[in-house]
Amino acid sequence: MHNPFLNLFYRFATSASGQGFAGDAASEVTAWVSRRVPDLPLIARVRPANMASQRVAIRAGLTRAVHLDTIGYDGPEWIYTAKLPT
């Protein structure tokens, strides 16, 4: 059985994209998690070709955890995490 973790997901309307809102919002969520539930790992699942999503994860302070990469319903998923699950 897996330990509990939080899954950071973000989707913006095209009309609101490209203005830095996603990076700002993801950073706020990461900071909130760090303050309020510091013991819970936070991850983001990112498709390898999704450069914007990777930039958002990095800007939110997450780092790539290659050993957690997986195959999801739609293909490979790269895992970024704020806290490395052990």
Q: What is the DSSP string of 60-78?
A: TT-EE-GGG-EEETTEEEE
Q: Quick one: which of 5, 10, 61, 64 contacts ligand COA (CB under 6 A)?
A: 10
Q: How far is the CB of 26 from ligand COA (least distance, A)?
A: 8
Indicate the residue among 38 and 51 with the shorter CB distance to ligand COA: 51
Q: How far is the CB of 42 from ligand COA (least distance, A)?
A: 13
Q: With contacts defined by CB under 6 A, name the span among 29-37, 53-61, 62-70, 78-86 that binds ligand COA.
A: 53-61
Cα(4)–Cα(33) distance, integer angstroms = 14
- For 3, 26, 67, the CA distances from 12, given in Å and listed in that order, are 29, 12, 28
